[in-house]
Amino acid sequence: MTVVTFASLDAASYRDIVRRALAEDVRWGDATTEAVIPAKQKTSGTLVVETSCVLAGLEVAAECFRQLDPQVTIELVRREGEWCEEGAEVARVAGFAAALLTAERTALNFLRRLSALATLTRQLVDAGRGHVTVRDTRDTTPTLRVLERYAVRVGGGMNHRVGLDEGAVISQNHLRLAGGVRDAVECMRLADTETPIEVVVRTVDEIEAAIAAGAAVLRVDGAAGDLVREAVRRSRGRAKVAVSGPLSADRMAPAAEVGAEYVSLDVLTQAAPRVAATLELTRAG
């Protein structure tokens, strides 16, 4: 596995997230650290990943330390998006011991979560062998979308819609309330003639109706393999096909082989396996 090119995050996009995460953990103070560690004591240490992973969230973890110790020194040993073997040292820190201890859990939580998402994404991207685009969904942790979407990009995946104001996806509930595929697509066209329309389809009739109405993308449940093949066959290039649902790495290649252009996976941000990491501090002499 290699480093995938991606756009890094602007620190302004996560500073407030980090501030709120620290406030959630620290509350009225770190009772243990304040009692045990002298305020002026200095320390240094290393951040180590204990699980082989694609590294993501290192700068966010660093921000946790910076907010509690603005004078902290942080050396990033590994790069975001880099594959790290178990036991790899990814960063070195030096500063006030109390601040580093208080920020430790929040920093590790970000690093573990985002690295887990990036690792799962990379596994699925590799399994697709470049024949299908892996994209995420809006099934993200509330208030953490910017970070979780970033981790998907680090892993080589594609972000779909950042929010409801970006792109048009007509769901089954939209279809039921609007009176069917044709009516829903026509309403969308009247409201916005430029935005490509994606329609979630569950039957052959809905596939035909969506294509006839000019839908750009047909989203089909990956568990319905025959329906995916029908969507690809009937669209004949007039619409792209996105496969959704609980796809695993061993089902990525079949999705690509039938001709789907995308796989849309909530699993990227909902069911990533755990990545372990630790902060190892040493007492200054």
Q: What is the pLDDT of residues 185-200, one digit of tens each?
A: 999 999 988 889 999 9
Higher pLDDT, 40 or 264: 40
**Which amino acid makes up residue 166?**
E
Helix (H/G/I), strand (E/B), else coil: 137: coil
- Structural domains present in the chain: 11-125+272-283 (3.90.1170.20), 129-270 (3.20.20.70)
pLDDT in tens, 247-261: 677 777 777 788 888
Please state the rounded mean pLDDT for residues 259-268: 80
CB proximity list for 208: less than 8 A, separation 6 or greater: 234
What sign results for the dihedral spanned by CA atoms 181, 183, 184, 190? positive
